Chains A and B, each alone.
Chain A
Amino acid sequence: MDFRVVCSLIGRLILAECASMAVPLALALGYGEESAASFIASMAVCLVVSYVCIEQGVLKDEKLTMREGIAVTGLGWLSVTVLGMLPYLCGGYLGLLDGIFESISGFTGTGATVIPDLSPLPSSILFWRMMTHWFGGLGIIVIFLAILPQAGQSSVYMYEAESTGPTSERVMPRLHEMTIALFKLYIFLTSVAALVYFLCGMTPEIAVTHAMSTIGTGGFSTYNDNAMHFASPVVEIWMTVFMILAGGNFGLYYKIWRKGPHVIRQNTEFKAYILILALAMTAIAADLVWAKDLDALTAFRYASFQVGSLSTTGFVSTDFDQWPAFSKGVLLMLMIMGGCAGSTASGVKVSRIVLLVKNAAAVVRQKLAPRHVVEVRMNGRLVDEDTLMRVGQFFFLYIFFILVWTLILTACGLSTFDSFGLSVTTMGNIGPAFGIAGATCTYAGLPAFVKAVLCFAMLLGRLELYTLLVMLRPDFWQTSHRW
């Protein structure tokens, strides 16, 4: 592995991040806020770091090796998220750990905030928060590849290291065209969401920021009480629609755009996703009506919003911490499931759950008919044994890490249920949990060690475990190999 190549690419990533900071800087200058100074300082630091990296680094013509690709993605995410805390730190709004936490929470699309009160913050800082959601949602690597003039085959490993899902399915043969297409789709969806929110009565800036947070499945808001601030069923319905859309496979949306809506009929994952969400909404609504004596319409309003939100984004429209145990349980399971593969959400992903269930059914059928050839199909295509194994392994590792984080968090003094909720929500990049980090709380009161552990959990969940974990193996860094 050639470190210089990795260095040079990471330098370019940081340069791109620096350029993106120009937007909130413009906002700050426009409003005359003092945060302009902190943005200038952050951009200066980023420029210096990227200059050093690019000078030390070397661009090469051949294809990046797989290790280099993984290193760029992993280290790139680490550097971008850590440097993303500079605006918070330079302006004195947050300390070092808190700043890193907020930045990681932003880029990974978690939406867990350590800021107890958002109102004194200048709008440019709040805008930067939401921008981090937007960039991290689709993926900083994907956006980077889309903007970079000569991406192509040389970057395929970078793309695969960041992309989510059990298989690396590509909608288009050329990587660069595909990243551009995905980026365009992303911008389009965000603009539509912003327009709809504006028409629902939000100011342009609020509409744009919340659209970025919705389509990036983040969960940050510019208000302390999150989506409860709007107190409007219309806004909530539209937010639910866009949140569910953002939890779908963007590659699928591209296919629909090109070939028409009949493509959905073949896509098992999306159908399963919608079905599961519908079932969850009905179950929770019924539970709320039965246990909390709400009327059916209100119950369905809250249920649909929280179901759509807690499987991907993390917006809060009501204090679901007060909900009965069954509803909380359903929400917890949704958080573990997450969104579809190829969406901006995290979690185990619906396609993996579908594959695991189908595999279990296949094992049962195989037992009853040992001489039959039992196949597992998804999206119309046959799934091979290798993929099924990998999916099984991923699921085990995911649950294993949730248990490990729960143990560590309880050792730090949190209650078991709160720890479990926190582990699930940070691994799944959702945001709100139960109890100490519940619907109406922030993460501000947590001990520092807990925040550090959760930072790692958020990154692990966003990069689907393996990209980060493989970098922990010492033999990954040996430069003697030629691959």
Chain B
Amino acid sequence: MRTQGLGLFWLLMGRVTFYFAAALLVPFAAALYWHESFALTAAFLFSAVFSALLGSAFTYHARHHFQQLTLREGVFFMTLVWPLAGFIGMLPFWLSGALPDFTTAFFEGISALTTTGLTDFGLIDGERAGVPQSLLLWRSLLSWLGGLSFVMILVTVLPHVSGCFGMTLTARQMIYFSPVWNRMRTSMRQGAAIYAVVTLLAILLFLLAGLKPFLAVTQAFFTISSGGGPFFSFSDYNSPALELATGFVMILSCVNLLLCWKAWDIRRPLLLLQDTELRVFFFIALGAGAILSLHFAGNNVMAPLDAVRCGFFDAVSFLSTNGYFFGSMDGWSDFDRMMLLSLPLIGGCMGSAAGGIKVLRIMILMKISWAGLRQTLHPHMVVSIRLDGLPVAAKIVGRILSYFFLYFVAFAVFSLVLSLSDMSLMQAMSLTVGCLTSTGATAALYGIADLSAFPDWVRFVCSLLMILGRIEIFSFLVFIELISRHTTQRHW
């Protein structure tokens, strides 16, 4: 039994840091080009250099690494990459003085990275004043990178840490996730390629809808990573073409990227159309949109045409865990709010950058519930459920049930913790749902537009919660267990 090193962990951390260093050069160049303030430009350059140095240190530490990923390396990476990337990501905000408080800046970084979208950015006395363009670019780029990191983790490390929670069921169980480093590199390249293609498509759609190039790029970054955020006001534009484009991009952000890759790889586009999960996703999106539109129109909150636009847009926005609002919430009843609070819990398809419990898991949970009713009559029956015609192992079903319980416990515990601050219980619950599903705007449904009025510890707890949502809670538990074993046991 070889000695347990963390070589691959350091290697992966080093790579991530290098990518971020490279990415930081983009807003640096933009800041130079737009002649923005010296503090800002210097902040970008400094952050880039710092990350590069950090990356080299990590890579040097990883010079003796084994080829196959161990569980320890996977768990450590999955848990610690988020704080690290959040730290690097927040450096420009913090150093340039845009967000001088460390906790606020860190929260901003994590919020962008986990594609949540909650932001204290650009607020002056509660009003969103003009922000420097390069910082907005970096904010959107950070969101995009967050989505990219999540997809990277999804194709490499996640299947080995928490793959039993349904990951292996995607794409008709045709994808094999290899723990070997070289194979992982290939998967990472493939994942990045698909993500880039989808992003380019999004940029194109936004350009066609009439946005200026800068806005098209930033909006594409925000939307395709299912980050969202209040940086863009759709009601200002009042353009159905834009809403249609955004809707399409939001749906794109929820599509199973692995399935896309597989379909392209084996040249069978029919794979996408036959995927049950995608069909169910559309069904939920259309159904929720229809219900909301009917309710808006029926309550005379807005004109019928506006009701349809608003209903479908908001439904897709929250289901894809983006969190965009169409217009204001005047005249909304609590039913509309509750609908929009519940949709992110379903989330996008497995294999996308969206958050939530994922449509695949919800499908399996509903199927096992229906089959379980029959088991009341036949207690010794062997219940088997099928997905896309393929049987689902009982062990995986059990794990998914366990995952649901974990999710609920995380929701309960963190709602209680957040309720200790100066917010009502409903607000605490909506904020918890928002952070856990990386939606963010669910808190706005019940009155919390941003966290500026709350103490630092609330921001810290929310950061933890957002990371927890991204690493699917289970990895964090394994991490805690590993740490506690390490400190309470001796290795000999």
Residues on A facing B (Cβ under 8 Å): 66-67, 70, 287, 324-326, 328-330, 332-333, 356-357, 359-360, 363-365, 367-368, 385, 388-390, 392-393, 395-397, 399-400, 403, 406-407, 410-411, 413-417, 419-420, 466-467, 469-470, 473, 476
10 residue pairs, one from A and one from B, having the closest CB atoms: A392-B401, A325-B419, A410-B335, A325-B425, A417-B426, A410-B334, A411-B335, A410-B338, A393-B372, A416-B334
* 6 pairs, CB–CB < 8 Å, chain A vs chain B: A364-B481, A385-B398, A407-B342, A413-B333, A414-B334, A416-B338
Complex contacts, B415 vs chain A, CB 8 Å? 329
A232 → chain B, closest Cβ, in Å? 30
Is B174 interfacial (CB-CB < 8 Å)?
no
Known: A356-B405, A417-B426. A393 touches B477 (CB 8 A): no
Known: A410-B333, A414-B334, A470-B377. A392 touches B404 (CB 8 A): yes
Beta-carbon contact of A389 and B424 below 8 Å: no
Beta-carbon contact of A368 and B335 below 8 Å: no
Known: A325-B419, A325-B425, A360-B405. A67 touches B394 (CB 8 A): no
Known: A66-B377, A393-B372. A364 touches B478 (CB 8 A): yes
Known: A356-B405, A368-B482. A390 touches B334 (CB 8 A): no
Complex contacts, A70 vs chain B, CB 8 Å? 376-377
B410 → chain A, closest Cβ, in Å? 11
Complexed CA–CA distance, A157 and B477 (Å) = 41
Is B148 interfacial (CB-CB < 8 Å)?
no
Beta-carbon contact of B416 and A329 below 8 Å: yes
Complexed CA–CA distance, A367 and B394 (Å) = 17
Residue of B nearest to A65 (CB): B377
B271 → chain A, closest Cβ, in Å? 29
Contact mask for chain B residues 361-382; partner A; CB cutoff 8 A; 1 contact, 0 none:
0000100110011111100000
Beta-carbon contact of B368 and A407 below 8 Å: no
Residue of B nearest to A323 (CB): B425
Complex contacts, A395 vs chain B, CB 8 Å? 401, 404-405, 408
Complexed CA–CA distance, A282 and B405 (Å) = 25
Q: A329-B416, A410-B338, A411-B295 known; 12 other A-B pairs, CB under 8 Å?
A: A325-B423, A332-B425, A333-B416, A364-B474, A385-B394, A390-B372, A395-B405, A396-B369, A406-B338, A407-B335, A410-B337, A417-B424
Is B272 interfacial (CB-CB < 8 Å)?
no
Complexed CA–CA distance, A148 and B409 (Å) = 44
Q: Within B391-411, which residues are at the interface with A (CB < 8 Å)?
A: 394, 397-399, 401-402, 404-406, 408-409
Complexed CA–CA distance, A399 and B412 (Å) = 12
Beta-carbon contact of A329 and B376 below 8 Å: no
Is B203 interfacial (CB-CB < 8 Å)?
no
Complexed CA–CA distance, A385 and B474 (Å) = 20
Complexed CA–CA distance, A385 and B398 (Å) = 8
Is B71 interfacial (CB-CB < 8 Å)?
yes
Complexed CA–CA distance, A406 and B433 (Å) = 16
Contact mask for chain B residues 63-93; partner A; CB cutoff 8 A; 1 contact, 0 none:
0000000010000000000000000000000
Residue of A nearest to B370 (CB): A473
Complex contacts, A396 vs chain B, CB 8 Å? 365, 369, 401, 404
Beta-carbon contact of A389 and B416 below 8 Å: no
A439 → chain B, closest Cβ, in Å? 15
A252 → chain B, closest Cβ, in Å? 24
Complexed CA–CA distance, A70 and B373 (Å) = 13
Known: A328-B425, A368-B482. A392 touches B405 (CB 8 A): yes
Taking a contact as CB atoms closer than 8 A, the residue among A330, A363, A410, A467 that contacts B402 in the complex is A363
Complex contacts, A367 vs chain B, CB 8 Å? 71, 161, 474, 478
Complex contacts, A66 vs chain B, CB 8 Å? 377
B361 → chain A, closest Cβ, in Å? 10
Residue of A nearest to B406 (CB): A360
Q: Within B318-356, which residues are at the interface with A (CB < 8 Å)?
A: 333-335, 337-339, 341-342
Residue of A nearest to B445 (CB): A416
Residue of B nearest to A481 (CB): B377
Complex contacts, A399 vs chain B, CB 8 Å? 404, 408
Complexed CA–CA distance, A414 and B333 (Å) = 9
Residue of B nearest to A366 (CB): B164
Beta-carbon contact of B339 and A407 below 8 Å: yes
A58 → chain B, closest Cβ, in Å? 23
Beta-carbon contact of A415 and B334 below 8 Å: yes
Beta-carbon contact of A368 and B402 below 8 Å: no
Is B465 interfacial (CB-CB < 8 Å)?
no
Complexed CA–CA distance, A415 and B416 (Å) = 20
Beta-carbon contact of A392 and B402 below 8 Å: yes
Complex contacts, B334 vs chain A, CB 8 Å? 410, 413-416, 419
Taking a contact as CB atoms closer than 8 A, the residue among B401, B419, B478 that contacts A368 in the complex is B478
B461 → chain A, closest Cβ, in Å? 13
Known: A325-B419, A330-B416, A410-B334. A397 touches B404 (CB 8 A): no
Which of A332, A360, A385, A466 is packed against the most chain B CB atoms within 10 Å? A360
Complexed CA–CA distance, A51 and B157 (Å) = 69
Beta-carbon contact of B377 and A393 below 8 Å: no
Complex contacts, A411 vs chain B, CB 8 Å? 295, 335
Complex contacts, A470 vs chain B, CB 8 Å? 373, 376-377
Beta-carbon contact of B425 and A393 below 8 Å: no
Beta-carbon contact of A389 and B398 below 8 Å: yes
Complexed CA–CA distance, A470 and B370 (Å) = 10
Is B428 interfacial (CB-CB < 8 Å)?
yes
Beta-carbon contact of B397 and A365 below 8 Å: no
Complexed CA–CA distance, A363 and B399 (Å) = 8
Complex contacts, B295 vs chain A, CB 8 Å? 411
Known: A367-B478, A389-B394. A466 touches B376 (CB 8 A): yes
Complex contacts, A403 vs chain B, CB 8 Å? 342
Which of A70, A356, A365, A414 is packed against the most chain B CB atoms within 10 Å? A356
B246 → chain A, closest Cβ, in Å? 26
Is B175 interfacial (CB-CB < 8 Å)?
no
Taking a contact as CB atoms closer than 8 A, the residue among B375, B377, B397, B478 that contacts A476 in the complex is B377
Complexed CA–CA distance, A389 and B400 (Å) = 10
Taking a contact as CB atoms closer than 8 A, the residue among B337, B376, B398, B420 that contacts A416 in the complex is B337
Contact mask for chain B residues 455-491; partner A; CB cutoff 8 A; 1 contact, 0 none:
0000000000000000000100110011001000000
Known: A364-B478, A367-B71, A407-B335. A389 touches B377 (CB 8 A): no
Residue of B nearest to A469 (CB): B373
Beta-carbon contact of A325 and B428 below 8 Å: yes
Beta-carbon contact of A360 and B478 below 8 Å: no
Complex contacts, B394 vs chain A, CB 8 Å? 385, 389
Complex contacts, A393 vs chain B, CB 8 Å? 368-369, 372, 401
Q: Within B407-457, which residues are at the interface with A (CB < 8 Å)?
A: 408-409, 412, 415-416, 419-420, 423-426, 428, 446
Beta-carbon contact of A389 and B478 below 8 Å: no
Known: A66-B377, A328-B425, A469-B373. A363 touches B342 (CB 8 A): no
Complexed CA–CA distance, A50 and B75 (Å) = 65
Complexed CA–CA distance, A359 and B284 (Å) = 31
Complexed CA–CA distance, A467 and B376 (Å) = 8
Which of A364, A420, A469 is packed against the most chain B CB atoms within 10 Å? A364
Complexed CA–CA distance, A393 and B366 (Å) = 9
Taking a contact as CB atoms closer than 8 A, the residue among A287, A419, A473 that contacts B373 in the complex is A473
Complex contacts, B402 vs chain A, CB 8 Å? 356, 359-360, 363, 392
Residue of B nearest to A352 (CB): B405
Complexed CA–CA distance, A67 and B377 (Å) = 7
Complexed CA–CA distance, A414 and B426 (Å) = 14
Residue of B nearest to A404 (CB): B342
Complex contacts, B477 vs chain A, CB 8 Å? 360, 364
Known: A326-B416, A364-B474. A466 touches B373 (CB 8 A): yes
Complex contacts, A417 vs chain B, CB 8 Å? 424-426
Complex contacts, B419 vs chain A, CB 8 Å? 324-326, 328-329
Complex contacts, B406 vs chain A, CB 8 Å? 360
Beta-carbon contact of A389 and B333 below 8 Å: no
Beta-carbon contact of B376 and A368 below 8 Å: no
Complex contacts, B71 vs chain A, CB 8 Å? 367-368
Residue of A nearest to B368 (CB): A393
Residue of A nearest to B412 (CB): A333
